[in-house]
Amino acid sequence: MKQVAIGPEQKPASAVVQGCMRISEMTESAVEKLIDTDLENGITYFDHADCYSQGACEALFGKVLAAHPGLRDKIKLQTKCGIVHGDDYTIYNFSKEHLLETVNASLKRLQTDHLDYLLLHRPDALMEPEEVAEAFDKLYDEGKVLHFGVSNQNPYQMELLKKTVRQPLEINQLQFSIMATGMVDEGINVNTTFDGAAVRDGGILDYCRLNNVTIQAWSPFQYGFFKGVFLDNPKFPELNKKIDEIAAKYGVSNNAIAVAWILRHPAEMQIILGTTNPKRVTASAKGADITLTRNEWYEIYLAAGNKIL
């Protein structure tokens, strides 16, 4: 499994991350099997959020950790907080009180005394950086959180946080896939009037590279905003033909090529797998060991409907 180096300490981590958003309906034994499959494939990084099934995903994962005492030391555990779901509304909350309360609740559900990484989950329009800094300091000083990051934030939002937060922001979790390439498009189409030239995220890709922030790509097999998967989708015949052609060359699945395409970018990203199917996990993980050629990367990019001058 390819490793990436995260943060100023260059902590090694698996390039593929197991996303745990969909585990709440699984049995404890099924989660154990999923984790075993991850470890067998070199996946040692697990991503949660306190809002996933209202904490049920963390609680189930915690039961598995408790049943296998040595497991916690073999993995990196990450969760996110800040999204608050009501019966008919969603808000964001980065207040000191909320951050401390939710992290302590996550630790209890996960049955661990610390998180390796904590991410702020989407931007809070009412964020007060001073409160975030106070919460981070307390969590860090108490040993409850070792490293910090954000999710879906642009450069200025991160800079605003950095004005008062003393811990490095080491990660930014962002949507990126073969069919969600806005971060790349704006660079390829710079100085044109093409649609792809629109800067919608403040140049976050280059910002992260300049500041040694690891991008974690979520929804690697999705197109649009949760519209569905593009692999084996008849809506995208040219793209799937090209992916299948390259998959056959390397003797892997189309999932592996979708993973390899993301990891081929020199930003040294991680990729978050949403699947909980052990066979798909194994098939996808193979993509971390494939380095696509420059031509193959661009052929896939063009087959997805993108244009290059």
How does DSSP assign 35-58, residue by residue?
HHHHHHTT--EEE--TTGGGGHHH
Give the integer Cα–Cα distance in Å for 50 and 135.
Answer: 16
Q: What is the pLDDT of residue 193?
A: 85
Query: Token digits for 68?
Result: 């296998």
The answer to whether 52 is a known catalytic residue is: yes
Give the total number of structural domains in the chain. Answer: 1
Q: Compute the average pLDDT of residues 188-217.
A: 93
Give the domain extent around 193: 11-232+267-288
User: Beta strands 45-47 and 145-151: pairing type?
Assistant: unpaired
Percent of the chain with pLDDT strictly greater than 90: 92
Give the tens place of pLDDT for each residue, 247-280: 999 999 999 999 999 999 999 999 999 999 999 9
Q: What is the pLDDT of residue 194?
A: 86
Single out the catalytic residue among 45, 52, 207, 301: 52
- Indicate the pLDDT class of residue 89, thresholds 50, 70 and 90: confident
250 within some domain: no
Average pLDDT, the chain: 96
Only one residue has tokens 């696509």, namely 292
Give the integer Cα–Cα distance in Å for 21 and 133.
Answer: 27
142 within some domain: yes
Model pTM score:
0.96
Give the tens place of pLDDT for each residue, 299-308: 999 999 998 8
249 within some domain: no
The answer to whether residues 171 and 6 touch, using CB atoms and an 8 Å cutoff, is yes
Is a pLDDT exceeding 90 seen at residue 208?
yes
242 within some domain: no
3-class state of residue 169 by DSSP: strand
Give the tens place of pLDDT for each residue, 148-193: 999 999 999 999 999 999 999 999 999 999 999 999 999 999 999 8
237 within some domain: no
Give the tens place of pLDDT for each residue, 101-151: 999 999 999 999 999 999 999 999 999 999 999 999 999 999 999 999 999
Is a pLDDT exceeding 90 seen at residue 227?
no
Q: State the CB neighbour count (10 A cutoff) for residue 291.
A: 11
Sign of the CA dihedral with 31 first, then 33, 34, and 40 last: positive
Contacts 24+ apart (CB under 8 A), 32-35: 32/64, 32/67, 32/68, 33/278, 34/276, 34/278, 34/281, 35/64, 35/71
Q: What is the pLDDT of residue 309?
A: 83
55 alpha-carbon distance from chain centroid: 18
The answer to whether residues 295 and 23 touch, using CB atoms and an 8 Å cutoff, is no
241 within some domain: no
Q: What is the pLDDT of residue 197?
A: 87
CATH code of the domain containing 185: 3.20.20.100
261 within some domain: no
43 within some domain: yes
Of residues 74 and 196, the one with the higher pLDDT is 74
